[in-house]
Amino acid sequence: MIQDTNDNASNDQQLNPATHPSNSLDWLSRLIAFDTVSRHSNLALIHDVRAYCEQLGLTVDLSFNEAKTKANLFVTVPAGENADQINNGLVLSGHTDVVPVDGQDWTSEPFTATIRGDKLYGRGACDMKGFIACALTILPQAVQLSNSGQLRRPLHLALSFDEEVGCLGAPLILADLKARGITPDYCIVGEPTNMAMVVAHKGIAVYRCRVHGKSAHSSLIGQGVNAISYASKLVGYVDTLAEELSTRDDNDALFTVPYSTLSVGTIHGGTATNIVPNLCEFTFDYRNLPHMTQDDILAPIQAKVAELNAQMQARAPETGIELMQEESVPAMTDNNSAELQSLIAALTGDDERHKVAYATEGGQFTNAGIPTIICGPGSIEQAHKADEYVELIEIERCDGFLQKLLDSCTAK
């Protein structure tokens, strides 16, 4: 439903969440109105979608975080009676959480969908409630095809929580599917790709390094162990490894950055210039190509930590270095998705394959043995920014894509 605000000098159009969404723009306006920033609960959105699915006669499964404040949703439109029931179907996957708007200079309310020109603005418009809106819009048609026996392949919708803070929700969905004996044939993750086909992405691992030194007056440095100095030795070693990664002969030119990367992100330490610091912490992330593993960098870093620990503890036994992993999201590989890629290329008329440096839940699906690609409306360049938007034509293109995808599920 579009409300025309003629008294607004900018001629913005604010989309009000419809009582009964009938198209993707109505659904997108409804979804944006739920403040599902990762630090908040997503249950209001999940319960709203569950009620809609149940009105369509579908059975909804929820899986919760430990505190029961957030939930994943998984729902299946079953294949018709004449379909091969061994076929475990196609998953449309999206995350319901969005990043914060704190400190960002928005020109419209971030949790009110607003159209200006050919764009729809709102937090999550492209990342990634636009895809979810299109998927929800096509569900009634999928149900009709199922009821008439024409749907040859089950269609699943998977909505997760906490993707933005480490892809924490999707593993619960996958564990539940495994327990139920459901192994989907394919998965499409609707992250924003301008509706291009992304066949692989890098993994990410985030580490925190805590260096415990020994304080002393800076005039008596021999009595102390300088935590910042030893942290700097390890930071230097991380930078050396990063340089080595960039010159390997097994890099992949299809990635914008064709090699695995290491990058120090934060560092904190020290109390005053006249005190030998007893604590320094820094973080770094590793973004690995799909054919590489965390052990490729973790093993040499652990060896370096052991070397530095020996040096420090020779001077003061209570000192040392802790290395802790804070986040881990697997890379998405294209090793087993050739059939899915061919299907998507045929539906879109675009045979070009892309690989990206950012991580998604796609790697968790491929790790579970489910061939996966990423394809969704909007540009990743608009994600996480003030005035996040999705072009209206992108929503139209996604609607058309999902219609063709549904048609392919009815083909004999």
CA nearest neighbour of 185 among 95, 86, 93 = 86
Q: Which member of 97, 162, 334, 399 is catalytic?
A: 97
Tell me whether residue 394 is one of the annotated catalytic residues: no
Among 127, 162, 163, 388, the active-site one is 163
Helix (H) or strand (E) holding 275: strand 275-276
Query: What b/e string do you get for 209-225 counting C-beta neighbours within 10 Å, with b at 16 or more?
Result: bbbbbbbbeeeeeeebb
Tell the residue number behind the tokens 């950012």, with chain if given. 358
**C-alpha span between 169 and 152 (Å, rounded):** 29
Strand boundaries in 143-245, DSSP class E? 155-160, 186-189, 197-201, 203-212, 216-217
The torsion angle over the Cα atoms of residues 141, 142, 144 and 148, rounded to 10 degrees, is 140
185 is catalytic: no
Count of CA atoms in the C-beta half-sphere (13 A) of 333: 12
The whole-angstrom separation of Cα 331 and Cα 294 is 10
Two structure tokens written together for 378? 């909007």
Q: What is the set of active-site residues?
A: 97, 163
